[in-house]
Structure 1
Amino acid sequence: MRDYTRLDNFLNERLKDIYPEPFGEPAISIMTQTVPKLMQDYNIPSGAKILDVGCGHGFALNLFKEAGLNPVGIGFGEEAEKCRQNGFEIIETDMSFTDVPDESFDVIWCRHVLEHSLFPFFTLSEMHRLLKVGGVFYMEVPAPETACAHETNQNHYSVLTKNGWLSLLHRTGFVDVKMYDINFSVPAGDDTYHAYSTIRPA
């Protein structure tokens, strides 16, 4: 029998690392392009149930709703309350340890949250569990060693290479992975996000 007391204490300490993410560009422009692209690439039907992991201010939730989907968010604190006030269902839970039943969602949207996982292989396994067979998974993560130095951010624990993430997706059981880079410039210099879309096979 394993004793997880030290892990629990460590995870509780990491709560102190969390800080509110600023919202604005380039996130708005990127999501405005990637949400319709995902829906078109996978022919996602109206009414599909989608989980937005780390829903933040709710911008993507609104895009999903406007596209005819049924969005649910994972979020915390004031941002979660704001999303609730706007009529969205919000679950306040650790993304790696949800109490949500297996195969609950047709689509999982996981934009800029996996770099905050202490154990991304485990977190990806949780995403796989929550996704219906044949469901679509989208993830977007910051690339390491850009001008923005994402690996140095206070609560970025897993800023991996493009192929490192690809390997974890395959190990988790996802198939037909499509990946591309999102390149842009900010005041600090050139930056890159790695984007992946994939499905849970039968």
Structure 2
Amino acid sequence: MLQLPPLSIQRLRDRGVMLDPGLTDEEVTRVEERVGFQFGQEHREFLQDALPVGEFWPDWRHGATADLRKQLDWPVEGVLGNAARMSFWPPAWGERPTSADERERTARAQLDRVPRLVPVHSYRYITVDPIFVPSPVFSIHEIDVIVFGDDLLDFVAREFHMPPRHQSPAPTYVPFWSELAARTAAWELGQ
């Protein structure tokens, strides 16, 4: 077991975040089947230790399937909108189609290949893929992507303004999302 969830949960308690009892194995399985993904180990352990509830937290226990799917789709939909309507088009996707419909179809096919993200809090997302451990937490607004934590513990420290009490790991590279984060960082630096 990772040691991140207990300390992350303690930090949330210290900041007054409402916490319900953690999800049971059965509840996790129900959510995964209902919404169509599997939590990554780090995120699953976090949610099974205690379940953060309230504004900006996904309602994994009682949330409507449509609402959870909308939250899950947020990162991809933001990129799709920019690819279809704006000038965003990564070179790895090939030549940019002239029609918006074709751009959206091509972009959707490309995005079907990138690691899946699930919401942690507000617009903060973590990957579900077990090969990206520890998974960085990304803050995502369309194609503006920022690494908002090198792992869940670092995310909680940053999001809730608590000094880090651990050695943060070297950031794990997550294809596409880490590239967008590097692009955002370069743009912010004027490069």
Do Structure 1 and Structure 2 share a fold, with TM-score over 0.5? no
Q: From the two aligned structures, give the one with the greater strand fraction.
A: 1
User: So what's the TM-score if we normalise by structure 2?
Assistant: 0.28
- For the pair shown, the structure with the greater C-alpha radius of gyration is 2
User: So what's the TM-score if we normalise by structure 1?
Assistant: 0.27
Q: From the two aligned structures, give the one with the greater helix fraction.
A: 2
User: Taking CA–CA contacts closer than 8 Å with sequence separation of 6 or more, which of the two structures ends up with the larger relative contact order?
Assistant: 2
